[in-house]
Amino acid sequence: MAVYGAAHPYTRATLQRTPDAARMAAYLIRRLWQMVPTLLGVVLLVFVLFRFFGGDPAEILGGLNATPEQIDAIRRQLGLNEPWWVQLGIFIQQIVSFDWGKSWATNEAVSQLFATRLPATLTVMLPILVLETLLAIPFALFVAHRRGSLTDRVIMVVTTVALSISFLVYIIVGQYVFGFQLGWFPVQGWSDSLWTNLTVYAPLPVLLALLVSLAPQTRLYRSFFLDEIGQDYVRTARAKGLSEPVVLLRHVLRNAMIPILTHIGLSLPGIFVGSFLIEVFFSIPGLGREALLAVNRSDYPVIQAVTIYVAVLTMAINLLTDLLYKWVDPRVVLK
Answer with the one of 50, 65, 97 that is the final residue of a domain: 97
To the nearest 10°, report the CA torsion of 112, 117, 118, 119: 110
Does any domain span residue 333?
no
Q: Please say which residue of 67, 97, 127 terminates a domain.
A: 97
Contact predicate 145/221, CB 8 Å: no
In which domain, by residue range, is 54 found? 9-97
3-state secondary structure of 246: helix
pLDDT tens digits, residue range 221-268? 888 888 888 888 888 888 888 888 888 888 888 888 888 888 888 777
Radius of gyration for the alpha carbons in the chain, expressed in angstroms and rounded: 26
- Give the Cα separation of 314 and 94 in Å (integer): 20
Last residue of a domain, one of 46, 63, 97: 97
Closest CA to 307 of 79, 45, 123, 84: 45
Is 193 a member of any domain?
Answer: yes
Burial 231-258 (b: 16+ CB within 10 A, else e): eeebeebeeeeeeeeebbeebbbebbbb
Q: In sequence order, what are the residues at sequence separation of 6 or more whose Cβ sits closer than 8 angstroms to the Cβ of residue 140?
A: 217, 218, 219, 220, 221, 222, 224, 225
Please indicate, yes or no, whether residues 258 and 188 belong to a single structural domain of this protein. Answer: yes
Query: What distance in Å separates the CA atoms of residue 127 and residue 73, rounded to the nearest whole number?
Result: 46
Are 291 and 144 members of one domain?
yes
33 and 77 together in one domain: yes
Task: Check residue 216 and give left, alpha or beta (phi > 0: left; psi -120 to 50: alpha).
Answer: alpha
Q: Which SS3 state, helix, strand or coil, does residue 102 take? A: strand
Do 234 and 120 share a structural domain? yes
In sequence order, what are the residues at sequence separation of 6 or more whose Cβ sits closer than 8 angstroms to the Cβ of residue 59?
Answer: 66, 71
Whether 104 maps to a domain, the answer reads no
pTM value > 0.85? no
Tens place of pLDDT per residue across the chain (335 aa): 343 344 433 333 343 444 567 777 777 788 788 888 888 888 888 778 777 766 666 666 666 666 777 777 777 766 777 777 777 787 787 777 777 777 777 778 888 888 888 888 888 888 888 888 888 888 888 888 888 788 888 888 888 888 888 888 888 888 888 888 888 888 887 888 888 888 888 888 888 888 888 888 888 888 888 888 888 888 888 888 888 888 888 888 888 888 888 888 877 777 776 677 788 888 888 888 888 888 777 777 888 888 888 888 888 888 888 777 777 766 666 66
What pLDDT shows up at residue 64?
64
* Beta carbons within 8 Å of 254's beta carbon, 6+ residues apart: 328, 329
DSSP string, 32-84: HHHHHHHHHHHHHHHHHIIIIIS--HHHHHH-TT--HHHHHHHHHHHTTTS-H
In a shared domain, residues 62 and 141: no
Q: Is 102 a member of any domain?
A: no
Whether residue 116 is found in the same domain as residue 51: no
What proportions of the chain, in percent to the nearest 5, are helix, strand and coil? 80, 0, 20
Strand partners of residue 102: 109
So what's the pLDDT on residue 286? Answer: 83
Helix (H) or strand (E) holding 262: helix 253-281
CA angle 141, 145, 148 (to 5 degrees): 125
Please check whether residues 295 and 152 belong to one and the same domain: yes
Shared domain for 89 and 224, answered yes or no, is no
Same domain, 189 and 318: yes
- Both 114 and 93 in one domain: the answer is no
Q: Are residues 178 and 226 in the same domain?
A: yes
Give the 3-state secondary structure of residue 86.
Answer: helix
Which of 60, 95, 58 has the alpha carbon at shortest distance from 79?
58
In a domain, 248, yes or no: yes
303 shares a domain with 252: yes
**How many domains does the chain contain in total?**
2
The pLDDT of residue 276 is: 76
Cα end-to-end span (Å), the chain: 44
Cα–Cα dist 278/288, whole Å: 9
